[in-house]
Amino acid sequence: MPHYASPGVYVEEVSGGTRPIGAVGTSTAGFVGTAPTQDARRNQAVAIGSWSEFLRIFAAGDRPAGTPLSRAVYGFFDNGGGRCYVVNVAPGEPISGTGRTRSGLALLEAIDEVAIVAAPGYSDPLSHEDLLKHCELMGDRVAILDPPEEITDVERLTRVASATPKAKPKANGGDQPAPAPATPDDGGQRPRQSDYGTFYLPWLVVRDPISGEVVPTPPSGHVAGVWARTDTLRGVHKAPANEPVRGAVDLTYRITRAEQELLNPAGVNCIRYFPAEGIRIWGARTLAAEASEWRYLNVRRLFSMLKESIADGTRWIVFEPNDEQLWRSIRRDIGAFLTRVWRDGALMGSTPQQAFFVKCDAETNPPEVRDAGQVVAVIGVAPVKPAEFVVFKLSQSSVGTEAQ
């Protein structure tokens, strides 16, 4: 308590007790690939804020050739992305970052703000697995996986691919076989099921921003830009679909409605051409099972944002006295945060009580929990789901046709 010795008026600043929880960013991307200047800042995670900055760092020198990485970064900024991290790896080097020296995807593990991960042009099963394992390990980001450039059989894209290493003799003439690079078998071309991965096809036809030539390019960079643009304009709860792909002048394969009826249940997001609207993303699913609660991309990304925001905003709780006053503070702060999320349109319900609940009391924190040094809060939210299938039912009446 302050000590007052002289008569007078004393004004003190006191804390109001509230500790607002802010929503973390969801639009920062991390790209791994080979840059036009192959040895530029190799195996470093470099923050990039514009296309001109990427050119200055990764495309210096005389007449560098464009790469899938450079076209992806350009597509990211062209479609509304604002910030990304770029990891330049050597040609043919795995993106997993194996070995004693941290490289590839391992460099992105230390960057908390990354929420979108892609390796443009790496469409083989091993690279897909590396991306999925990275996002599942981190738990706060989602991968965009690229398909093979050539689509010969749409039905194969509904089956999971596998990689079978082939053995070959050692170069030194030894009798023990050495593993050769794994190659996909003929079973399928789709990545495995995962709550933290997405799969888009086909490749886009774009103008290379470095050479000026019209070339096919993997869709992951442009898709990441559409995600970032949707997050900025509508919010992470809005499914990043039915959105135009800026910079794409054509597709390497025109997917039909009948083909998408096969692909959509398998979690394959199609990029379609429509005569009146142009080229648009026409799917918003993850690679989770069709019956999974995480099958919609916006739900997966919303929960990742909520989880990380609450974790960051409640770090002050650690080592506080575990009593009723702490429980009330937890309910108040998380409740205020979720109310703002509900007002933004991310949660279902006409009232906050219908949209979410926060329970932190003696029931969730009995003596044995408190003795273990734990405080437990149970949170439930009702996320909005995308209107993926719009159905109008028409019937005839005696005065004409009406919509029900």
Provide the pLDDT confidence category of residue 139 given band limits of 50, 70 and 90. very high
Shared-domain flag, residues 364 and 399: yes
129 domain-assigned: yes
Q: Tell me: the pLDDT tens digits for 326-369?
A: 999 999 999 999 999 999 999 999 999 999 999 999 999 999 99
Shared-domain flag, residues 292 and 328: no
Shared-domain flag, residues 124 and 204: yes
375 domain-assigned: yes
Tokens of 325: 């006053």
Write out the chain in H/E/C secondary structure.
CCCCCCCCCCCCCCCCCCCCCCCCCCCCEEEEECCCCCCCCECCEEEECCHHHHHHHHCCCCCCCCCHHHHHHHHHHHCCCCCEEEEECCCCCCCCCCCCCCCHHHHHHHCCCCCEEECCCCCCHHHHHHHHHHHHHHCCCEEEECCCCCCCCHHHHHCECCEECCEECCCCCCCCCEECCCEECCCCCECCCCCCEEEEECCEEEECCCCCCEEEECCHHHHHHHHHHHHHHCCCCCCCCCEECCCEEEECCCCCHHHHHHHHHHCEEEEEEECCCEEEECCCECCCCCCCCCCEHHHHHHHHHHHHHHHHHCHHHCCCCCCHHHHHHHHHHHHHHHHHHHHCCCECCCCHHHHEEEECCCCCCCHHHHHCCCCCCEEEECECCCCCCCCCCEEEECCEEEEC
Residues 297, 68: Cα–Cα separation, whole Å: 24
Give the predicted TM-score (pTM) of the model.
Answer: 0.89
111 domain-assigned: yes
Q: Tell me: the pLDDT tens digits for 210-260?
A: 999 999 999 999 999 999 999 999 999 999 999 999 999 999 999 999 999
9 domain-assigned: no
Shared-domain flag, residues 142 and 287: yes
Shared-domain flag, residues 33 and 74: yes
Judge whether 32 and 105 are in contact, CB under 8 Å. yes
Shared-domain flag, residues 137 and 259: yes
Shared-domain flag, residues 194 and 70: yes
Domain containing 77 — which CATH number?
3.40.50.11780
258 domain-assigned: yes
240 domain-assigned: yes
1 domain-assigned: no
Domain that holds residue 395: 316-404
pLDDT on residue 283:
96
* Average pLDDT in the chain: 90
225 domain-assigned: yes
Q: How deeply is 402 buried, as exposed, middle or buried, from its count of CB atoms within 10 A (0-12, 13-18, 19+)?
A: exposed
Q: What's the number of domains the chain is made of?
A: 2
Q: Which of 254, 274, 300 is at the close of a domain?
A: 300
Shared-domain flag, residues 269 and 321: no
Other CB atoms within 10 A of residue 138 CB? 19
Shared-domain flag, residues 112 and 209: yes
Residues 17, 265: Cα–Cα separation, whole Å: 48
* Interval 78-85 mean pLDDT: 97
Shared-domain flag, residues 258 and 373: no
Shared-domain flag, residues 112 and 186: yes
Shared-domain flag, residues 36 and 101: yes
Tokens of 390: 């719009």
